[in-house]
Amino acid sequence: MKKVFLFITQWFILNISAQINHSVDSLKHTKDISLEEVVVTATKVNESTPVAYSELSKEKLKLLNNGQGIPSLIQQSPSVIVTSDAGTGIGYSGFRIRGTDANRINITVNGVPMNDSESHTVFWVNMPDFASSVENIQIQRGAGTSTNGAAAFGATVAMQTQKSELKPFAEYSISAGSFGTIKNMAKMGTGLLKEHFVIDARYSNIQSDGYIDRATANMHSYFASASYYGDQTLIRLQTFGSIEKTYQAWGGVPSDLLSSNRTYNPCGLYKENGEICYYDNQIDNYQQQHYHLTISHRFNHLWNTNATLHYTHGSGYYEDYKEDASVASYHLSPYIQNQDSILQTDLIRRKWLKNDFYGIIYSANYRSERLQFSTGAAINRYDGDHFGRVIWAKHSNNLLKPDYEYYRNNGDKLDYNLYAKTSYLLTSHLNSFIDLQYRGIRYAILGSDDKGGENVNILRHWHFFNPKIGLNYQQNNHNAFISFSVANREPNRDNFIEAGINEQPTHETLYDYEAGYKFQNDLLYIGANLYFMDYTNQLILTGKISEIGEPLTSNIKDSYRMGIELTGGIQIFPGFTWNGNLTWSRNRIKNFTESIEVFDKDWNFIEERQELLGTTHIAFSPEWIANSMFNWKWRQFNAGLNSQFVSRQYIDNTSCKERSIDPYFVSNLFIGYTIKPRFIQEIGLDFTIYNLFNEQYETNAWVYSAIVDGKRYKEDGYFTQAGTHFMGRVTFKF
């Protein structure tokens, strides 16, 4: 492989200069690249790129979008599974692709990184109804191609925001359904003003009581864009953001209640005079604003360039009622009662996060008849303050200061990368691809932690080189490719803060081997993709969660993911189509050693025991994922039946069935009708039945396991999903 890599690199260098010199003579043969597409040219792929990918169009997203987050809207894509804390896809939700959790999936909007610099994930609750402002979503499975932000260890999700409408428009929709869910969305555009200017805007509000007890959500979001179009230049200022308040629902339902109380929510529980109570304000309260200033210029049909300045500000807190909290952990003085010191008290705390993320991304792109070349760079900085305040304590000697602060630390991260990728047509059918990226990271955490105020002083530097090569063959209706990629990724904040005494988190490395084939004509589509993802020190989900519900990962020295992804579609008769995909995978840890804590009957710690279990399943990585999609369109009528099957998922890495999620099969039915009266452009009516057959299922879980008094002990929480429920929508277009 090394010799092949060096040969292709040398061959490209020799041919690029000759091809660029030939560019003037080739102008008449090249395709025009619209100014809108210049923005995302460097971060998206096409059929000539040796990458397994799928796309969701604006029209498809609109059909699905009843208020759920982006995870629910991409659920039918190959190898994707989705989970929701509230059980409805509204509020806190997430997804995994090829068994890889979202904090190891690269996510961008117009090339700008969306992953939080410290946790590495995207909190979709902070992007409610963002799909209403999205033009398309491209999902590149595997290591993907070089982009900005963190490396992709399962997939890359590249979102492009809506293109400007050249004609004035207005649209309003209202959705309503089960669990008190209501969504209002209004958007408008000025069309082209004075032949150069376009302004678009959207506002949305989503409210829901949630399927889980008290899992309420109240989310406001906006999107606005002002664009200037010159003959060869596009200047665009975009801003989008949200304000959300959601009641915490990250505790899950204990396994012994799954058959009797599937909506149980332990968050906010405390006892008062022996009675069980729930704290009313056990909420997540956060707001976030994004600003992107983009300048794109097309020099000619061959060359274009793009630069984006971006800034994101976030601020908010989790509010918790803590019962019998240790006063020492919060640096409070013991409460004196009848000359006795009371060392525990009920209290209410707020854990704050205030952060700023800003930087610049740049790309230059060349496209001729045979050669495509992109080079890009980015530098981004994150500055985040984490601090906690006690706003009330039951026993405090009346000495608690307003907004008393008990810990504070700062996360500072500098992330920079440089890449170049080239695609060259070796023959009329065979295309070669090479992609080289350097990425550097400086990350520091300084201050006191939230577990008693211990000092935190972490400083790390990483330097990564991530090469990718491949070949793509395309002739008539046939397309085939092979590729090899290397990716490296640093640990996230929790890997350091939540690490055990003897744990020293390190970066992980992926060697990704892919091969694919597809055939497509007017009536039929079939495809197959084989992959083998070999990991060193993979950061694998352990099944545990942090105090605020974040899934925890730990380095595993030797592991792999391999499988086959089958896709297909057929037009059964005009207007009636079937599409589907099937993933079979084998996800394994080699020579896994379980570390389990041992306690006596009074919960006094004795030791941490090591047990070699051999080859085990990787947590949250099902062997089978299947999707089926029937769609029927006739005149103004539209209907669809979507189904998904997911096989067993293990919660931890021990392959123990008692600590697993049962397989499930879920179907959704969609029916829509469009009216086009004279007084308005269009009225759309649609109705969706979710979980048509009332499947009782869970999509996520956590577990804590130990040995107590010689017996296996566990605590767990399963995230149950709603049974049969409904949503209806009316849309007016002017």
Could you tell me the CATH number of the domain that includes residue 724? 2.40.170.20
**CA atoms within 13 Å, Cβ hemisphere of 453:** 12
Tracing tokens 């840890």 back to the chain, one arrives at 589
Instruction: For residue 278, give the amino acid letter.
Output: Y
Domain that holds residue 99: 2-733
What pLDDT score does 425 carry? 94
d(CA 369, CA 185): 43
- ∠ Cα 61 91 587 (to 5°): 75
Strands (E), 600-659: 605-617, 624-634, 637-646, 649-650
What pLDDT score does 22 carry? 42
Strand 664-675 with 682-690, pairing: antiparallel
- ∠ Cα 332 334 340 (to 5°): 175
In this structure, the dihedral spanned by the alpha carbons of residues 89, 95, 99 and 105, taken in order and rounded to 10 degrees, is 180
d(CA 423, CA 211): 49
What pLDDT score does 30 carry? 32
Name the nearest CA neighbour of 205 among 90, 107, 121: 90
Task: Give the other-Cβ count within 10 Å of 657's Cβ.
Answer: 9
What pLDDT score does 328 carry? 86
What pLDDT score does 159 carry? 94
What pLDDT score does 397 carry? 67
d(CA 633, CA 377): 44
383, 416 Cβ separation under 8 angstroms: no
Exposed/middle/buried for residue 273 (C-beta within 10 Å: 0-12, 13-18, 19+): exposed
Exposed/middle/buried for residue 208 (C-beta within 10 Å: 0-12, 13-18, 19+): buried
What pLDDT score does 542 carry? 74
Straight-line distance from the first to the last Cα atom of the chain, in angstroms, rounded to the nearest whole number: 58
What pLDDT score does 144 carry? 87
* Chunked mean pLDDT (size 10), the chain, 734 residues: 44 42 37 61 84 93 90 95 96 94 91 94 94 95 86 90 91 96 96 93 97 97 95 94 96 96 96 92 97 94 94 97 90 77 89 97 93 94 96 79 90 96 94 96 94 86 96 95 96 84 84 96 95 92 65 85 97 95 97 89 89 93 97 95 98 93 97 92 96 97 92 94 97 94
CA 367 to chain CA centroid, nearest Å: 31
Task: Give the other-Cβ count within 10 Å of 315's Cβ.
Answer: 15
d(CA 508, CA 496): 14
* Number of domains comprising the chain: 1
What pLDDT score does 398 carry? 64
Strand partners, 432: 424, 471
Tracing tokens 């972490």 back to the chain, one arrives at 458
d(CA 29, CA 19): 14
d(CA 173, CA 162): 17
699, 660 Cβ separation under 8 angstroms: no
Joined together, the tokens standing for residue 631 give 């769609």
Strands (E), 494-603: 508-520, 524-545, 551-573, 576-599
What pLDDT score does 31 carry? 34
120, 317 Cβ separation under 8 angstroms: no
Task: Give the other-Cβ count within 10 Å of 14's Cβ.
Answer: 9
Instruction: For residue 686, give the amino acid letter.
Output: D
- What is the length of the chain? 734
Joined together, the tokens standing for residue 435 give 């992609």
Residue 221's φ and ψ, nearest 5 degrees, are: -145, 160
